[in-house]
Structure 1
Amino acid sequence: MPIIGTFSAVKDGYAGTIRTLMINAEVLIMANDRKEGDSGPDFRITTGTNEIGVAWRRKRNGTEETYLRIKIDDPTLPHPIWGALVEGGGDGVARLLWRRDRKEEAQ
Structure 2
Amino acid sequence: ENEKAPNLRVVVGNVEIGAAWQRTSKDNNTVYHSVKLDDPSFTAPIYANLFEGDDGECALIWSR
Gaps of 5+ in 1: 1-33, 101-107
- The separation in 1 between residues aligned to 2:43 and 2:12, in whole angstroms, is 19
SS at match of 1:41: coil
Q: 1:49 aligns with which of 14, 26, 29?
A: 14
SS at match of 2:5: coil
Residue number in structure 2 paired with 1:85: 50
Superposed CA RMSD in Å reads 1.4
Q: Which has the higher contact order (CA 8 A, sep 6+)?
A: 1
Name which one, 1 or 2, has greater alpha-carbon Rg. Answer: 1
Matched ranges for 1:1-107 at <5 A = 34-35=1-2, 38-88=3-53, 90-100=54-64
- TM (norm. structure 2) is 0.83
SS at match of 1:63: coil
Aligned pairs, how many? 64
Gaps of 5+ in 2: none
Percent sequence identity over aligned pairs: 38
Bigger fraction of residues in helix: 1
For residues 50-78 of structure 1, give each alpha carbon's deviation from its aligned partner in whole angstroms, at most 9, with x where no partner exists.
11101111111233211000000111112
- TM (norm. structure 1) is 0.54
Instruction: Measure how far apart 1:86 and its partner are.
Output: 0.4
Name segments (4+ residues, structure 1) moved above 3 Å: none
